[in-house]
Amino acid sequence: SVLAAEPWALVGRLPVEQRAPIVLRECAALDYDQIAIVLNCTRNEVAQRIYAAREQIRRILDEVAP
């Protein structure tokens, strides 16, 4: 499967505004408040971007393996 072979390939397909917070969350294990500081945005914006990133990854996976 695409995900098993290249787990971060899907993340690379995300727009940077979604990619940055999901990488900071999943790789650097930062919490939402820390990510907000790094990205100079609100905690709510971080939550929205991470949600959007996860939804986009789900859509990509549905295309690859329905």
Residue 60 to residue 47: CA distance in whole angstroms: 20
The per-residue pLDDT string of the chain (66 residues; one tens digit each, 9 = 90 and over) reads 444 546 678 888 899 999 999 999 988 999 999 999 999 999 999 999 999 999 998 888 888 776
Nearest one of 47, 36, 39 to 16, comparing CA atoms:
39
